[in-house]
Amino acid sequence: MEELDLNGIDECIRVTQPLKHDLEVQLIEGAFLVRGSLALMLECTCVRCLKLFPARITLAPWVCHLMREGEEPVAIVNDCVDLTPYIREDMLLAFPQHPLCEPGCNGLPYKSISSVRQPSSVSPIEDDASAWAELNKLKL
C-alpha cells in the first residue's frame, strides 16, 4: 500500500487495504506483456453529505506493455521488473473524481435562510445600507 503512495492524493479518498492482483507475464519479441486484474478497496467521503462509504476499484483486464530494448527500455534488476509506477498511474486514473455515497445523494440537510431569519421592521434595502455605512466608518 505504501509503495503505491496513493494516500494523500485526494482528501476524500483513502486506501484501506493492500492491492490485490492476479497477473501473468509473457515475453514477446523483446518486450514484456503483463496481463491480469487489479483491485483496490477505498474509503471515500461523499462530496455531498460527507458520509464515509467503501468503494472498490477493479481494473480487469489490466494490460501493460514494457519494452526490454529500444528508446525507453524497462529496468530489469535481479530478473525483476518494477510495475509500481504503471499500476499507480492506472489506479489514480480510476479514482472517483467526485465520490458519491449513492447516485441520488441529496447532500447535507439544510434550512432556508428565510426560515431561520427573524422578521424585522427594517427593510432589506435599509439593512444593507446600514451595513455598508458601518463598514465605511472603519479606518483601515
Residue 4 DSSP class? T
CA 76 vs CA 4, 19, 64, 65: distances in Å: 19, 22, 15, 14
| Contact call for residues 69 and 37 (beta carbons, < 8 A) | no
Residue tagged 476499484 (cell numbers): 57
According to the model, what pLDDT value does residue 44 have?
94
With 80 as the cut, is the pLDDT of residue 119 above it? no
Q: Which residues contact 4 (CB under 8 A, 6 or more apart)?
A: 15, 19, 84, 87, 88, 91
Q: Indicate if the pLDDT at residue 117 is higher than 80.
A: no
Q: Is 5 left (phi over 0), alpha (psi -120 to 50) or beta?
A: left
C-alpha cell at 76: 530489469
The predicted model scores a pTM of: 0.70
Q: What is the pLDDT of residues 47-89, one digit of tens each?
A: 999 999 999 999 999 999 999 888 888 888 988 899 999 999 9
Segments making up each domain of the chain, as ranges: 13-107
Q: Does residue 52 contact residue 40 with C-beta atoms inside 8 Å?
A: no
* CB contact at 8 A, 85 and 55: no
Cα separation of 132 and 51, whole Å? 39
Does residue 110 have a pLDDT over 90?
A: no
- Lowest-pLDDT choice from 3-17, 103-117, 122-136: 122-136
Share of the chain above pLDDT 90, in %: 47
